[in-house]
């Protein structure tokens, strides 16, 4: 099978398309034929080993001190179950699924992957019926992060919410989740992305290049940092008494109930992935180069099967 492998940290050119052995599912695993994956910020960070100084060494110890332990990247996917182990009860052959590869030994930049039907760090579930595989692949990581952080902040109907980095993957889902909950959303992004963010449910918009959100007069119940580029101390200036600050820099958790909620919201058309660009698996270097520019909107998809 075809897979994108990387043997060392570095620029997108370290990603190489190779022929490798097709995996065989263990007794509690499913073999998924992958139709689509994505380029997440986590993929880019692992490829380049671009970790903040305080966590650089711990991250390298986990993911590989001198070279990557997980040689195939790809944090999320959508595809079809092609084979199941004898102990699998959650899925059957032919099921359309979507989910993550969190903390597994291999990722989804490949034509096939074996996934446990359940494991501690990641999730897999039935794909939303109304979405394409490309759309479904772009849902799990960003949407679950938004849901988890809003759960931590105790999002409620009628609240005022500011989403910093509202045009990115996590931010685009945060805007939708907050809007569906009945919150009034202010999005912070560039003017070029105002139309996109407004279409997702934001009522007010701030161009971070022209205006410092923390110097404004409006106070917020929740400030959601979707890109890890603002701080709690800055947010406090415009937080209401008892207001909450949450950030993608915080540890998050994937849960099966989150994935089921995402599926339900997607099928009710309450949650929709925004896809900026799509690339073929053979164009993985170009896809990472594009994301490295830092100007992507929503999600970048890798099409493995048309």
Domain limits, the chain: 2-139+273-303, 142-247
CA distance 110 to 120: 22
Q: Which of 267, 182, 178, 260 is nearest to 224 (CA)?
A: 178
pLDDT (0 to 100) of residue 55 = 67
**pLDDT at 61 (0 to 100):** 72
Beta bridge pairs of residue 5: 16
pLDDT at position 107 is 98
Q: What are phi and psi of 207, to 5 degrees?
A: -85, 110
Q: Per-residue pLDDT for the chain (306 aa), expressed as one digit of tens each? A: 999 999 999 999 999 999 999 999 999 999 999 999 999 999 999 999 877 766 667 777 777 777 899 999 999 999 999 999 999 999 999 999 999 999 999 999 999 999 999 999 999 999 999 999 999 999 999 999 999 999 999 999 999 999 999 999 999 999 999 999 999 999 999 999 999 999 999 999 999 999 999 999 999 999 999 999 999 999 999 999 999 999 999 999 999 999 999 999 999 999 999 999 999 999 999 999 999 998 899 999 999 987
CATH 3.90.180.10 fits 2-139+273-303, yes or no: yes
Task: Provide the Cα torsion 92, 98, 100, 106; round to 10°.
Answer: 60
Answer for the pair 189, 171: CB distance below 8 angstroms, yes or no: yes
Q: pLDDT digit string (tens) for 150-174?
A: 999 999 999 999 999 999 999 999 9
Q: Residues in the chain, how many?
A: 306
For β-strands 275-280 and 239-247, DSSP reports them as unpaired
Please tell me the predicted confidence (pLDDT) of residue 211: 96
SS3 of 136-205: HHCCHHHHHHHHHHHHHHCCCCCCEEEEECCCCHHHHHHHHHHHHCCCEEEEEECHHHHHHHHHCCCCEE
For residues 246 and 177, what is the distance between their CA atoms, to the nearest angstrom?
15
CATH topology of domain 142-247: Rossmann fold (3.40.50)
> Is residue 261 classed as helix, strand or coil in its secondary structure?
helix
Give pTM, 2 decimals. 0.95
State the pLDDT at residue 294. 87
């Amino acid at each position: 099978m075809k897979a994108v492998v990387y043997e060392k940290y570095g620029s997108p050119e370290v990603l190489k398309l190779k022929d490798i052995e097709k995996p065989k599912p263990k007794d509690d695993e499913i073999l998924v034929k992958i139709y689509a994956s994505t380029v997440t910020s986590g993929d880019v960070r692992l490829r380049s080993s671009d970790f903040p100084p305080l966590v650089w060494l711990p991250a390298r110890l986990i993911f590989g001190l001198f070279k990557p332990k997980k040689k195939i990247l790809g944090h999320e996917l959508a595809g079809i179950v092609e084979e199941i182990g004898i102990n699998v009860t959650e899925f059957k052959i032919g099921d359309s699924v979507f989910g993550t590869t969190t903390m597994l030994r291999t990722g989804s930049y490949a034509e096939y992957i074996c996934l446990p039907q359940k494991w501690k760090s990641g999730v897999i579930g039935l794909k939303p019926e109304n979405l394409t595989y490309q759309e479904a692949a772009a849902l799990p990581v960003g949407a679950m992060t938004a849901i988890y952080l809003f759960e931590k902040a105790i999002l409620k109907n009628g609240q005022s919410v500011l989403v910093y980095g509202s045009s990115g993957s996590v931010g685009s889902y945060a805007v939708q989740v907050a809007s569906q909950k009945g919150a009034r959303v202010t999005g912070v992004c560039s003017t070029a992305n105002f139309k996109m963010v407004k279409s997702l449910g934001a009522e007010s918009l701030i161009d971070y290049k022209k205006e410092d959100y923390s110097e404004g007069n409006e106070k917020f119940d929740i400030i959601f940092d979707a890109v890890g580029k603002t701080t709690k101390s800055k947010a406090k200036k415009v937080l209401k008494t008892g207001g909450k600050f949450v950030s993608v820099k915080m540890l998050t958790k994937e849960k099966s109930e989150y994935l089921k909620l995402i599926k339900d919201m997607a099928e009710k058309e309450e949650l929709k992935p925004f896809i900026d660009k799509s690339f073929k698996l053979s164009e993985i270097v170009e896809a990472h180069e594009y994301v490295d520019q830092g100007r992507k909107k929503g999600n970048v998809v890798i099409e493995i099967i048309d």
